[in-house]
């Protein structure tokens, strides 16, 4: 019985690790695409109008910051599942 419980515990730990890894991977997909879009379009804008590069760069960092937050929350969930 104790053996079974220990096994179940191990299995639960394994599932936690798998879930954490998968969760982080899934959480990184959207922001990855999003940051690519943001930066790509910012580069297009800067290439078309180099004199507005400063403003575009500031806005680009803002966009990156907002997009990236989702991936970071995924990372925090990963840390919590694995270590907390």
Partner 1 sequence: MNQLLAAGNGDSSGGLHFPAIESLLEWPGFLFEGNTFFELNKVGLIYIWAMVAPLVIFILAIRKSALVPRGVQTVAESSVDFVRENIVMQTMGPDGMRFMPFLLSLFFFIFFANITEVIPFIQLPANARMAAPAFLAILVWVVFNAVGIKSQGFFSYFKNTVIPPGVPGALLPLVAVIEFVSTFLVRPFSLAVRLFANMLAGHLLLVTFAVLCENLWAKNFLVSIIWAPFVVLIGLTGFEILVAFLQAFIFTILTAVYIGGALHPEH
Q: Which region, judged by CB under 8 A, interacts with partner 1, from 1-9, 30-38, 45-53, 68-76?
A: 68-76
What's the DSSP call for residue 84? -
Distance between CA atoms of residues 36 and 30, nearest Å:
10
For 27, half-sphere exposure in the C-beta direction (CA atoms, 13 angstrom radius) is: 17
Give the x-and-dash track for 23-62 against partner 1 (CB under 8 A). Answer: -------------------------------xx--x--xx
Q: H or E stretch including 16?
A: helix 2-48
Q: Does 76 bind partner 1 (CB under 8 A)?
A: yes
Which CB sits closer to partner 1, 6 or 65?
A: 65
């Amino acid at each position: 019985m104790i053996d079974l419980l220990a096994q179940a515990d191990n299995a639960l730990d394994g599932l936690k690790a798998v879930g954490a890894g998968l969760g982080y991977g899934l959480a990184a997909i959207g922001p990855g695409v999003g940051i690519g879009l943001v930066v790509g379009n910012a580069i297009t804008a800067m290439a078309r109008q180099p004199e507005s590069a400063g403003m575009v760069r500031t806005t680009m960092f803002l966009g990156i910051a907002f997009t990236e937050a989702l991936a970071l929350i995924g990372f925090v969930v990963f840390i919590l599942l694995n270590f907390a």
